[in-house]
Structure 1
Amino acid sequence: MTCEPIKDRQKVKEMKEVLQRGQNGFRNRLFFEFALATALRVSDILSLQKKDIDSGHVRLKTKKTGVYKYIQLNPIVLQMLNLHLESLKDQDLIFDFGRIMAWKIIKDAADYVGIKNISTHSTRKTAAWHFYYESGKDIRKTMQLLGHKKTEETRVYLQITEDEVNNQLSRMYI
């Protein structure tokens, strides 16, 4: 089964609370918060160094597409990130762990709060889903956020079905 976005804000909140616990709680929660705040792929997040953070923005060349991105961080995540960055050198990785650990961090917290069909990519899908709805269901802005060229790619992320589109269309009268 494919991974899904976490559509329920309460479940997102519960995930954050669970991630905060334990020896690496702050780091784990920051990883989740950062992933949600940037909608980046995990491979890009795990390759970021301290020097890639510039005046409240993330600067990177994405691994999959080679596109340069300059992403503004929200103030809450930036504050958390700055605390984490204090002890790092410019060349240090922001998150010094691999994909398997990233998956385990997300999966364990999701299991604890009862979320199924989740992977590290769910953070990207979750960010996209909430962005889409907070932008007034602006598919173009959501495509831009994700770097997608086709609306179908984005609809797959959002899990918007043809039936949902047709249902909405059938209710529309101009």
Structure 2
Amino acid sequence: MNFVQPIRDVEEIRAIRRYLREKSYRNYMLFVTGINSGLRISDILKLRVSDTKRPYFNLVEMKTEKLKRIEITPGLQREFKEYVVEMENHEYLFKSREGINKPIGRSMAYKILRDAASHVNLENIGTHTLRKTFGYHFYKQYKDVALLQRIFNHSEPRITLDYIGIHQDEMDSAMKNFKI
């Protein structure tokens, strides 16, 4: 199992957004939803158009089976308004081209993200990168590990900081500055 990293560099995020937007609106929206919601890919893929019609996501997390309510950012709300304009409420947001109204699978989401990552020469990228990217930038903006811990349903702040790569950043920085 590969250990995936958040995308720390905002310019790399912008480059991926541009690349995906040019290639596929659906794939762009998958990326934007992930980095702006902090949801796991399993929860993102089961979202329907109707889930975008209120100012929050209300769902039962597949992994934890816990009820989760998370506010949709204003920017993501604007993106959804444009994206779903010609879609029906019952449709999946990220429909597969196979079958009628089936969402893409985890493996397709992985392929989409790996393709975009290779375009900007990023390694250690997977579907969890979306959630970790959200967490990393949320933490950098608010410095509130307790709130992020609750958003992610983690049991301890240490787990959250490890998960989003903050401890890795600290170790990397210390090693760069270390000398004997």
User: Structure 2 length normalisation: TM-score?
Assistant: 0.83
2:104 is aligned with 1:105: no
How much has 1:163 moved relative to structure 2?
Answer: 9.4
List aligned pairs for 1:28-39, cutoff 5 A. Answer: 28-39=27-38
Q: Which range is displaced more, 46-55 or 109-118?
A: 46-55
Inter-partner Cα distance in structure 2 for 1:21 and 1:162? 33
How much identity, in percent, do the aligned residues show? 30
User: Structure 1 length normalisation: TM-score?
Assistant: 0.86
Inter-partner Cα distance in structure 2 for 1:98 and 1:92? 15
Residue 3 of structure 1 corresponds to: 4
In structure 2, the residue corresponding to 1:65 is in which secondary structure? coil
CA RMSD in angstroms, aligned pairs only: 2.0
Kindly report structure 1 stretches of 4+ aligned residues shifted beyond 6 Å.
none
How many residues matched? 164
Whether the aligned pair in 2 keeps the contact of 1:53 and 1:59 (CA below 8 Å) is no
2:159 is aligned with 1:153: yes
In structure 2, the residue corresponding to 1:58 is in which secondary structure? strand
Whether the aligned pair in 1 keeps the contact of 2:136 and 2:166 (CA below 8 Å) is no
Residue 47 of structure 2 corresponds to: 48
Structure 2 residues not aligned, in runs of 5+: 96-103, 175-180
* Aligned residue among 131, 135, 142 for 2:148: 142
Whether the aligned pair in 2 keeps the contact of 1:110 and 1:116 (CA below 8 Å) is yes
How much has 1:111 moved relative to structure 2?
Answer: 0.4
Structure 1 residues not aligned, in runs of 5+: 169-174
